[in-house]
Copies of this chain bind each other. A is one copy, B any other.
């Protein structure tokens, strides 16, 4: 049934581009049948391609064999049609579609391909379950919204590349089969056939290579690089993801921020038509935690954290005073107009904060007619209650949500997440209201209670702030890093740091991370060696391209900006990857599966 193209089948132009200027022209069009309508003596086919739809028309003047073919044409059949463009006639014009004035009176037609009935309709916003969409991704990608997403991503990528090119950055490809140097997230490993027992790792980022490129004098590096992390996936993570990866030499944090504000300005202008005001606001990590309980605060709404520890520290209510006494704190967020939250809703917020390890959620509300209800007020003195309301500037109609804990981090994490959750429920997360800021002065290290050691918060190559270097031995947790994140609407869109370029300091850093000389020499010896041959100061940043695209398109699920994403268990539903390998291949690699479970 399928016919092949021959040399005379030359497409005139894309379907969506026909206008009244084409009337009277002989044309050739190709595309998919969006729908066929048989009106008895008249048949219409809406022909679709990536640009839109044009109407094909068939009537008593159409050659009989062509008419019969049109009669039998079904949705998603692929067609090559030739004919003459004509006006639809006054009553038939469709003002809602760009090609709505014209149609093509078809005189020749062939089926390039027929189609089974697709498992879901190829239309915008079709409400299809995600698993089905991903299994038939090639059909899902035909839907106009997915077509637009993928084409928009291509455009964003081009804008990014052009910007860095205009600014003297060199695109350099770094290897993807690299040495395994586990530090942080889990590597994907690739067994070597030539060196049995040895492995490559897929890069979590081009970090070391881009630093070495700075040592080589390339000065400004850019790569849009695939990166890999074998982590248990969250909704917004993929086992492979794409980074806009940058590095510059002879620069400070301010230079990196400036060049990237230029990029964001360009993207917002050219992609969204928004004039971004720069310089963007900056906030230190400590300030962000204190005000928003998060190092990626969403500034589209208020609900800042208010420390009420002073007001409650002497209370008989031990839930509050005990937290303060044990070195923690009690903090509140005030939801303006939140008194309308029902008891049931507040209960669900209580469940919500528990996932952030909070033991509970205390609350206080007063309706506009003065009725007060609270989970804690009865355990406090009037004086204490009054202090809290004063401190939080409480007014009738408001809702106070309070978390106290002996660990400040628990208070921050739970209230930081809670303010966003409440904002979400109140409809305050408008995707087209963009609030950007830089977070700076991150802690260099993070202590793991579980492992009893420090880990690098960013990565082990991050430069400590000069004035904090002296605490590296005595109080490592206190050392701040010259590291920075760019946060957009509560999402970390990118992050980076000034790097250590002094070999002695790099060795020191490895020691602080608990590595013996032998271990770090084995893992990173080539890097330390490289630094001994003249290393320039350098710094960089990486954006998550998937996330950045989603943010610019106002999309929540990053899978909607990735052509062929994987699902939470790291498999691809269309092809069924991963899959068992050929036993002969495994034997060549000299590996055995130890336990298939």
Could you list which residues of chain A lie within 8 angstroms of chain B, going by C-beta atoms?
A: 2, 4-7, 9, 11, 14, 30-33, 48-50, 76-78, 80, 112-116, 118, 136-139, 141-142, 147, 150-151, 153-154, 157-158, 161, 165, 170-180, 182, 186-202, 208-209, 212-213, 215-219, 226, 228, 230, 232, 239-240, 242, 249-252, 254, 466, 501-502, 526, 530-537, 562-564, 566, 569-572, 574-582, 585-597
A80 to chain B, nearest CB (A): 8
Q: Are B592 and A592 in contact (CB under 8 A)?
A: yes
Residues of B near A186 (CB, < 8 A) are 193, 585, 588
Q: Are B7 and A535 in contact (CB under 8 A)?
A: no
A145 to chain B, nearest CB (A): 13
Residue of B nearest to A152 (CB): B170
A492 to chain B, nearest CB (A): 21
Q: Are A187 and B151 in contact (CB under 8 A)?
A: no
Q: Are A115 and B533 in contact (CB under 8 A)?
A: yes
Q: Are A49 and B570 in contact (CB under 8 A)?
A: no
Residues of B near A179 (CB, < 8 A) are 572, 575-579
Q: Are A216 and B534 in contact (CB under 8 A)?
A: no
A436 to chain B, nearest CB (A): 23
Q: Are B175 and A578 in contact (CB under 8 A)?
A: no
Complex partner residue of A158 from B115, B165, B242, B501, CB under 8 angstroms: B165
Q: Given the known inter-chain contacts A171-B157, A217-B50, A239-B177, please indicate yes or no for A7 contacting B252, CB distance below 8 A.
A: yes
Residues of B near A215 (CB, < 8 A) are 138
Q: Are B141 and A173 in contact (CB under 8 A)?
A: no
Q: Are B533 and A139 in contact (CB under 8 A)?
A: yes
Residues of B near A116 (CB, < 8 A) are 532-533
Query: Top 6 closest A-B pairs, CB basis?
Result: A141-B216, A115-B534, A179-B577, A198-B578, A76-B534, A192-B578
Q: Are B191 and A170 in contact (CB under 8 A)?
A: no
Residues of B near A228 (CB, < 8 A) are 176-177
Between A and B, 17 residue pairs with Cβ closer than 8 Å are A6-B252, A30-B536, A77-B534, A112-B537, A151-B170, A158-B165, A176-B202, A176-B226, A177-B239, A177-B572, A182-B582, A190-B202, A194-B569, A196-B597, A198-B578, A200-B577, A526-B576
Number of copies: 2
Q: Are A575 and B112 in contact (CB under 8 A)?
A: no
Q: Given the known inter-chain contacts A112-B536, A530-B138, please indicate yes or no for A593 contacting B596, CB distance below 8 A.
A: no
A177-B566, A180-B579, A587-B594 given; 17 more Cβ-contact pairs under 8 Å? A2-B502, A4-B466, A14-B219, A32-B536, A150-B172, A151-B170, A158-B161, A161-B161, A177-B240, A178-B577, A186-B193, A187-B585, A189-B191, A191-B591, A195-B571, A199-B578, A201-B581
Q: Are B30 and A114 in contact (CB under 8 A)?
A: no
A427 to chain B, nearest CB (A): 34
Q: Are B218 and A150 in contact (CB under 8 A)?
A: yes
Q: Are B563 and A174 in contact (CB under 8 A)?
A: yes
Q: Are B590 and A594 in contact (CB under 8 A)?
A: yes
Residue of B nearest to A564 (CB): B175
A420 to chain B, nearest CB (A): 29
A589 to chain B, nearest CB (A): 7
Residues of B near A530 (CB, < 8 A) are 138
Q: Is the interface of A mostly helix, strand, loop or mixed?
A: loop
Residues of B near A31 (CB, < 8 A) are 217
Residues of B near A526 (CB, < 8 A) are 574-576
Q: Given the known inter-chain contacts A177-B240, A536-B78, please indicate yes or no for A217 contacting B49, CB distance below 8 A.
A: yes
Residues of B near A14 (CB, < 8 A) are 219
Residue among A30, A190, A212 with the most chain B CB within 10 A?
A: A190
Q: Given the known inter-chain contacts A116-B532, A177-B239, A579-B199, please indicate yes or no for A591 contacting B590, CB distance below 8 A.
A: no
Q: Are B197 and A593 in contact (CB under 8 A)?
A: yes
Q: Are A569 and B195 in contact (CB under 8 A)?
A: yes
Residues of B near A597 (CB, < 8 A) are 196, 590
Complex partner residue of A191 from B191, B193, B534, CB under 8 angstroms: B191
Residues of B near A208 (CB, < 8 A) are 575
A392 to chain B, nearest CB (A): 39
Residues of B near A187 (CB, < 8 A) are 585
Q: Are A188 and B177 in contact (CB under 8 A)?
A: yes
Residues of B near A217 (CB, < 8 A) are 31-32, 48-50, 141-142, 147
Q: Are A219 and B118 in contact (CB under 8 A)?
A: no
A42 to chain B, nearest CB (A): 24
C-alpha gap A4/B195 in the complex (Å): 42
C-alpha gap A323/B534 in the complex (Å): 65
Residues of B near A196 (CB, < 8 A) are 593, 595-597
Residues of B near A153 (CB, < 8 A) are 172
Complex partner residue of A593 from B533, B576, B590, CB under 8 angstroms: B590
A543 to chain B, nearest CB (A): 15
Residues of B near A170 (CB, < 8 A) are 150-151, 154
Residues of B near A195 (CB, < 8 A) are 569-571, 578
A163 to chain B, nearest CB (A): 12
Residues of B near A593 (CB, < 8 A) are 196-197, 590-592
Residue of B nearest to A252 (CB): B5
Q: Are A596 and B585 in contact (CB under 8 A)?
A: no
C-alpha gap A566/B142 in the complex (Å): 40
